[in-house]
Each structure stands twice: as C-alpha cells, then as structure tokens.
Chain A
C-alpha cells in the first residue's frame, strides 16, 4: 500500500517551541536535511501563520518571508508550504509568500468557521497553488459536523482538508472517526495533524492512516507547540515497518532529528504536567509557553490558567485570553 504524503512542519509548528527565533541558517540546515531524506513538503511560516509576528503571538526574529525564501533556495525536490489563518494573515501576505517561492498554502480556520476562508482559497487557486484546508481544534466538534465544514473548503477549491488536533485532545478512536467521516464525504484528499499532549500523537497518526488519511504531518523530534507534534522520523519508521510504500530515507530522518534539530532546540517538548493539562482541558497547544510565562509573572499555577481557558472554550489564536484569565485568577488569589 502507498504511504500517505508526509508534510514536515518543524519550521512552522516548531516556531512556537523556538519562540519564533528561527534563523536563516537553521532553516537552511533543516530544509536541506529533510529534502535529502525525501520529505516532499516542508512548511515554513511563523507558528501562527503568515503575519503571525505580533505582540499577541510573539515577534519573529527573522521575517518569515526571508525564511521562506531561504528554505526554497535550500531544497531541490521538496515543495515549500506556508500556513495562513484568515483573520490574522490576509491575501496580501499570501501574495508576498507566493513571490518568495511557496507552492502550497495551508489555510486554517477554527473547525466551525470554514466559511471565512473562501477569499483565500480563491486567490490560491487563481495563482496556481496547491491549497490545503486545516480544520483546527477538531476535537470540539463531532465527525459529521467536521465533514460539513470540510465540504465548504472543498467547494472553495481545497485539494485536501485536514482534521487538525490543535489541542492534542483526541485519542485514536476519535482521530480515526473524524478522518473516516471526511473520507466518506469529500472527493478530495484528507489529512491529519497531531499533537502529543496526551502522549498519543503517533498512535493517532497511525489510526488516521488506517482510516484512510492521504496526508499526515510531523515535526523532527516532535518540535512543536504543547507537548510537540508526531515526530516525522517516528512516523517514517512506523509506516515503513507497517509495509507502506514510500520514498523517504528513515535513517537520514533519524540523523536530521538527532544532529540537526536536537542541538538547536531550547527544550524537548514532552507530555509534562502543563502539556497534559492542555490535552486534557482541550485548549490550543500554543497556549503552553504563554501560560507558563504569565503564570510565573503573576504567581498563578499555569495548570489552573489552562484548565480555566478550556472551561471558557477559548479557540485557536485567543492568546490574549491567557492574560485575562491570569489577571482574574491572580485577583481571586489575593482576595483569599
């Protein structure tokens, strides 16, 4: 059986764990290693997508446009992708990114709000790009509901729609059911993007592949938001062992993870206390470092902050609510 297409997003989801401090040199080294190892698509963008560099999400050290250009010039076979969240990035940045060399755009919305992405799919298809839809925080809605939203993206021109477990809150049965529902409804491809907050990123990815996912995401060493993503090298090794036909080089990916990415990582994302709380409470994985920073600053337990954000049903991109909740919890604490 043919393996799903593997997209590596170390240089996008990994941007969160790197606090958006990627340098041109790091991007070049990672992109070259992945390209040589036979990974067909590499995503390079600020963690929160095009134009994500902000006070809300953190400023990029190096402009994402420069990093996209750097990655494009470093690879020979791999395609370069960028992420775009309508409401943060616009068609203006999409056009700039196309000018810098992206061939794929991944357009992400909260899984209930697919209809804000029509303009962006329209431009992507008009300009000849491959366009992938991303339904974020997919654990918040049941499979049939997600399939309806995916159909909207398909009608706007999506070539593939992903079930995105942004909170790392799904378990294998939930991941598989969602992928299956999309497979049954869509004519186009279906993808799956995992986070490891509950320790099952690889398990969920394998369940998604078994349910028919045509595309899956990984990051070398799992470098990504929250407890990180499914590790690209692990997905590659596992699918190889399962007998899927593929064009990647497992040992080259192990080397890339160990010798290129591990040395530059500020920490190894793992399902620790606060990350597990993210998966358990079902909040956006990128809230982790913001909650840790503010928790320290205002002397509030980050776990309490994250659980409260889950209770309020915060969605992708609402980092400003972390400050709000932290201030409220700090006030309550001072009253007691």
Chain B
C-alpha cells in the first residue's frame, strides 16, 4: 500500500466559518503529527475556503462527502453546528474516522486535554464541551484532586463581538453543558455556570471567574495553590494566553449549608490572534484545545500503526 509519510496523520476540518478558519491557521502554524489535507464547508463563496485555497490547502464546498470519500483523512474536526454534528457523528463513525467535536452536540465523552484525554484514546468521537468549560474545568479539577468539593461555580464574560448567532440562540445550552462539565470532569458534586456578554468597545478579553466551596475547613491551602499553578502551566502549554490574574483568593463565606471556605480564581484568556482577534479568547481556547486533542490522537494513531507494522517485519 502506498501510504503517506509514517510520521503524519491526515486530518480534515469540517466547517469553514470563523472557528474552522482559526483552527486551520493553528494547525498550519504548528502541525505536530498532523497534516491538514482539507477544509470542507457548504458555502461556495465562503471566505474560509478561499483562504484555504490561497494557502495551498484543498477546499471543498460539498460538506462532509469529500471527507467520507477519502479514507486517508483519519481525524475530522467538526466546527459546524450541534444540529449538523448529530448527522456527521453517525456518518464518521460508520466510516471509521475519529471525530473531534467543537459543537455542543456531545455525541461522545467530554474531554479537557490536561484532565481526562488519556482515558478516551479508544473513542471515535470526543466533545470539547464549551469555551467556558475548556477555560474553567481544568482549575476545578486542580482543586478537586486535592480536596473534595461540594459546589463549584463559573462565570464567563465574553466580548459581545465574539459571541456568534449559535451561542446567542442557544445560551441555555451553554449553561447546562458547562455546569455538567464542571461536575463530570471538574469533580464538583454540584456545578453552576453563568455567562455574560459585555459590549464594551474596545472589546474586553475573555474573563472567567471560578468559585469553589470546599467541603472541609481543614484544608491545605498551599496544596491547592500548587495544584492550581501546575494546572495553569499545563493549559498554557497549548493555550499560551491563559493566565490567572491573581493567586487563588481564600475567604470564609456564609452559605445555606453553613460557614464554608471559598476559593476564588480570576482567569483571563488572550487569544493567539491566529485568525480571530486576541480579545476572542473564548474562541481561541476552543481551537487551541481542538488542535491539542488532534495532536494527542495523531500521536496515538501513529503509535498504533507502528505497532501494527512491527508484526509484519
């Protein structure tokens, strides 16, 4: 079989809007073990497709079909819509391709690269939750690996200009999905999510606040601070503009369950400015996480392939 170079996995991006285009720039800038072979959309006049062509990347406006037609495209990033992904998920599964889902469709398990990606290497479809989830869940997990947390709450504030019609028309889904992610992946017994759009001009950077109520008064604050610091470094490895504005703040608060220690963390995400403007840290963290998930899967696929080859040598 005339196979492609053994150190790269061919990947495709489905969806040629802002997210798909930004992801294209990220993969081209830092391909790792991926070779971006196709950007597929449905709109012949799409700016994203034109940009791909001008960069020498194959582009098609025939939707998912050219991806299904080329079995060498083993990893597919879906940056369309939740509605479209439901159909794509089924077709990609039948075709034996790995789907990395950037929509809120959640056909596969939630993944946060530094938290649980390793546990899902055998999946055929993984979901990236929400932008707010990618930003805040790592820090919830950083605390829950030190001490049990009965309640965690996240507040995401994004620039109005960076919230597209999909987010605006489905704002309830953002809160449901993010709160669920805070519980399932973050490790909080109860999770809550709040999203706020700020129209200030010039646009604000993406801001997130994470509040965590601790179950126990007897808690090693330094262990929490260290764990959080370690997690911030882990996320920065793939989202360079991710930073805590302050060390975690500890306070004692009255709650319906009595006096509790509260940990508050203030987080800012500056986008890399690959295609979208730096204030759109919410979109940047989605595409940066997607690239990271793609890279980890690409390495995994290559390792499996090489294992397979060794049987014949």
Interface residues of A (CB under 8 A from B): 51, 54-56, 59-61, 86-88, 90-92, 110, 112-113, 115-116, 118-119, 140, 297, 312-318, 320-321, 323-324, 327
Contact = CB atoms under 8 A, between A and B. Distances in A.
B200 A312 contact: yes
A286 to B, nearest CB: 13
Given A92-B176, A315-B196, A327-B245, 14 more contacts: A59-B254, A86-B171, A87-B174, A110-B196, A110-B199, A115-B168, A116-B168, A116-B171, A119-B171, A297-B251, A313-B198, A315-B200, A320-B155, A324-B209
Contacts of B192: 51, 54
A59 B256 contact: yes
B199 A112 contact: yes
Contacts of B251: 297
A140 B168 CA distance: 21
B42 interface: no
A55 B160 contact: no
The range of chain B's interface size is: 35 or more
A55 B262 contact: yes
B211 A87 contact: no
Nearest to A62: B256
Contacts of B169: 115-116, 118-119
8 contacts: A55-B262, A90-B172, A92-B172, A92-B176, A113-B160, A297-B251, A315-B197, A315-B198
B184 to A, nearest CB: 18
A56 B171 contact: no
A323 B264 contact: yes
B211 A318 contact: no
A135 to B, nearest CB: 12
Interface string B212-249: 01000000000000000000000000000000011001
B27 to A, nearest CB: 31
Contacts of A60: 256
Contacts of A320: 155, 157, 207, 209, 264, 266
Given A55-B153, A56-B155, A318-B157, A87 B170 contact: no
A321 B198 CA distance: 12
A72 B312 CA distance: 77
Interface in B249-291: 249, 251, 253-256, 262, 264, 266
B80 interface: no
A323 B176 contact: no
Most A CB within 10 A of own CB, among B196, B198, B200, B209 = B196
A61 B194 contact: no
B206 to A, nearest CB: 13
Contacts of B170: 119
The 8 closest A-B CB pairs, nearest first, are A320-B209, A313-B200, A55-B211, A112-B199, A90-B172, A87-B195, A116-B171, A113-B197
B197 A56 contact: no
Interface in B160-175: 160, 165, 168-172, 174-175
A312 B159 CA distance: 13
Nearest to B257: A59
A315 B246 CA distance: 22
A140 B204 CA distance: 16
A323 B267 CA distance: 12
Contact of B194 (A297, A313, A317, A324): A317
Nearest to A115: B168
A113 B168 CA distance: 9
A51 B153 CA distance: 12
Given A113-B199, A116-B171, A312-B200, A56 B176 contact: no
Nearest to B172: A90
Residue with the greatest number of chain B CB neighbours at <10 A, chosen from A140, A316, A323: A323
B194 A59 contact: no
Q: Which of B170, B194, B246 gathers the greatest number of chain A CB atoms within 10 Å?
A: B194
A249 B160 CA distance: 45
A22 to B, nearest CB: 14
A254 B200 CA distance: 42
A314 B196 CA distance: 10
Given A61-B256, A110-B197, A327-B249, A56 B168 contact: no
A86 B194 CA distance: 9
A116 B155 contact: no
A327 B196 contact: no
A112 B204 CA distance: 15
